[in-house]
Amino acid sequence: MNVWASILIILVVLIRAIILHKIPKLTFIIMWGMCLLRLLAPFRFSIYTNSRSTEIIIARVLNNVASVLTSSVQKSEAGAVSYIPNISWPIFIWIVIAATLFIYFIVIHLRCRNVYRFAVPIENAYVNEWLSMNKLKWRTVKIKVSADISASLTYGLFRPVILIPKTTDWENRDLLKYILTHEMIHIQQFGTLWKLLLLIVACVHWFNPFVWVMYILANRDLEILCDEEVVRTFGVDSRAAYALALIDLIEKREKITPISSAFSRNAIEERIISIMSMKKSSFKGIAFAFLLVVGITTVYFTSAFSANVEIAIGTDVFVLERLSATQLAKHNVDNQTITTYRIINRIESASESISGRFLQFTTLDEANRFAPFTIKAPSFLPGSLINMSIGVTQRSDATAGYEALIRYSLKILNDPDWECWINMSMDYVGPDAYIEVETGYSIRALMINDIEAIATYSHTIDGKSLFWIKDGVFYCLSASLDWDIMIAIAESV
Amino acid sequence: MNIKLHDAELRVMDVIWKSEEATASQISSVLKEKYGYSKTTTYTLIKRCIDKGAIKRIDPGFRCYALVTQAQAQELETLELINKLYDGAANQLVESVLNNKKFSQDEIKRIKNIVNEWGDKD
């Protein structure tokens, strides 16, 4: 379950319960939008700043679900790469239920559309005149009459149609005016799109009860937002007339179709009170709403930074790349200079201090599921193979001369409750070796053999290189940069 | 014999009543021009009318004759189908599952009172 999203939802529900009728209703839609974004986004937008430049790095973050779906790359004996999808039972059930819900709602929608097609263009002079005076800029709205519906509704995102029941009291122009304005505002506010997004999120997160709470309340808030705009259009004095018109519609509908009511008592009462409590928006209300939105945004971004799987080191994004077989780089040692070896020597010198605490997994698959990322590692490490993964030391026992020479540990510092060590081992396998680093947990700070790697300054340039300075020594781990460029950077810092 | 016909089915019958005999494609083109109905929509309606015994179809040419007069045909005022679908609004469906209470006259009165009370405040 997406914990941060659930917390966001609970926050919004609480705020809603306390001050629904006191602040502009758009506030709630924005806050629900934040929740939606939090639930939908497999991508998170993070803004990183440092002394040199401000860059926006779109950090691809896999949430739990996506990470389990990622197939792991495994090297077969022949050197070929085979993809083995990791789909476990819970994931299977999740997908099946989500798909079933999707299909269910799609079928309902199609059945409705099947009925709507019998609707005919309206032939009411007043309504046609109203439509010609209230045209939308980008979309053409059609108004049709259906004998099969009991309340007016809107459908169609790009070619919106307002459907009005045949049983409508066509003589009551005030009522018509309210109905048409209400539906037109729904179209302007892209109510259909909001509802669709909410539905998708609810289907995907069907196991999260808070999401369903959001689903219901956000749908209500869309109505309430629409009501607010209607009242604004006709003036505050029209509140009572509009509210009574709504009640009349419900009353009439209940008479026609007594079997099943689609109206929830609570929802209607809430709506009516909301309409009646609308005033000209006060400065206080707007200011408070603004603060709320800022607050929720903060919670959103806080959560974006600290939630589950994020590969971020310090204030920078570490290497994010899945290695395919062809990407496994072959490294050449010849052009490296002594400075490079200094780094390696440092690592080597402390190679004995390996922490004994590893995460334990029973199978490699399980471990890989936890560690879906592969990182191309330092190109200056001579003909070496670094294998870094949580708790998985894939040490070779087959190849001759394939021996673990150096191992070093990365300590994950960001989460005191979840202290674990990433084991990183480097093996010589001759000139054709590759380096592979895997991690599936967020790294906030990095320690290489008790040397704090990220200290005074650190930076990534292309997402594949990491620099830092410690005690006057410039360090660089890079999978992509040439030596000259590294030197140039070192000199410029 | 009285036959209950749906609102849209009556539109098909209107075309046939006016010209006594009409082919399916004629009906379709009339309804397309008048109401924007697609061919399949019209054919669905014709088939429903045939099933209800309101139209007799003679091949070749899919010619349709009315079996009922305009006076015999009654409009079917039904909202049953659509009600089962909650007007296509999934949120209403979900909400009605959770809160399946009907509006009684008392409820409506109570809510009207809310409006009146608020109205008095200002």
Is A254 near chain B, with CB under 8 Å? Answer: yes
Contact between B7 and A108 using a beta-carbon 8 Å cutoff: no
Least confident of A1-5, A19-23, A114-118, B23-27: A1-5
Q: Is the pLDDT of residue A407 over 50?
A: no
Angle between the N-to-C axes of helices A209-234 and A3-19, in degrees from 0 to 180, rounded to the nearest 10: 40
Q: Is the pLDDT of residue A314 over 90?
A: no
Alpha carbon A244 to its chain's center: 41
Quick one: tokens of B114?
């809310």
Residues counted in chain A:
493
Residue A127 and residue A206: Cα distance in Å, rounded?
41
| Gap between the terminal Cα atoms of chain A | 43
- A217 to each of A2, A13, A266, how far by Cα in Å? 19, 8, 11
**Are the CB atoms for A297 and A34 separated by under 8 Å?**
yes
Residue in the block written with tokens 């200056």: A380
The per-residue pLDDT for A418 is 29
Q: What is the pLDDT of residues B104-121, one digit of tens each?
A: 777 788 888 888 887 666
Residue A155 and residue A305: Cα distance in Å, rounded?
38
Gyration radius (Cα) of chain B, Å: 22
The per-residue pLDDT for A98 is 92
Least confident of A132-141, A147-156, A474-483, B67-76: A474-483
The per-residue pLDDT for A256 is 62
Percent of chain A at pLDDT above 70? 48
Is B45 near chain A, with CB under 8 Å? Answer: yes
User: Is the bond preceding A160 in cis, omega lying within 30 degrees of 0?
Assistant: no
Confidence band, pLDDT 50/70/90 cuts, at residue A351: very low
Question: How close, in Å, is residue B62 to chain A by CA atoms?
Answer: 22
Q: What is the pLDDT of residues A240-261, one digit of tens each?
A: 999 999 888 888 776 665 544 4
**Residue of A102, A106, A111, A117 to mutate when probing chain B, most B C-beta within 10 A:** A117
Residue A303 and residue A308: Cα distance in Å, rounded?
9
Q: What is the pLDDT of residues A182-238, one digit of tens each?
A: 999 999 999 989 999 999 999 989 989 999 999 989 999 999 999 999 999 998 888
Residue A110 and residue A478: Cα distance in Å, rounded?
54
Rounded mean pLDDT, A120-127: 90
Q: List, as ranges, residues 135-164 from A with C-beta within 8 Å of B.
A: 147-151, 153, 155
Task: Report the SS3 class of residue A469.
Answer: strand
Contact between B92 and A215 using a beta-carbon 8 Å cutoff: no
Strand ranges across the sheet with B63-66? B21-23, B63-66, B55-58
Contact between A148 and B41 using a beta-carbon 8 Å cutoff: no
Angle between the N-to-C axes of helices B39-52 and B7-19, in degrees from 0 to 180, rounded to the nearest 10: 80
Q: Collect all residues with Cβ–Cβ distance below 8 Å to B80 and sequence separation of at least 6.
A: A259
ipTM of the complex: 0.78
Strand ranges across the sheet with A457-459? A457-459, A465-470, A473-478
The per-residue pLDDT for A401 is 29
**Are the CB atoms for B23 and B61 separated by under 8 Å?**
yes
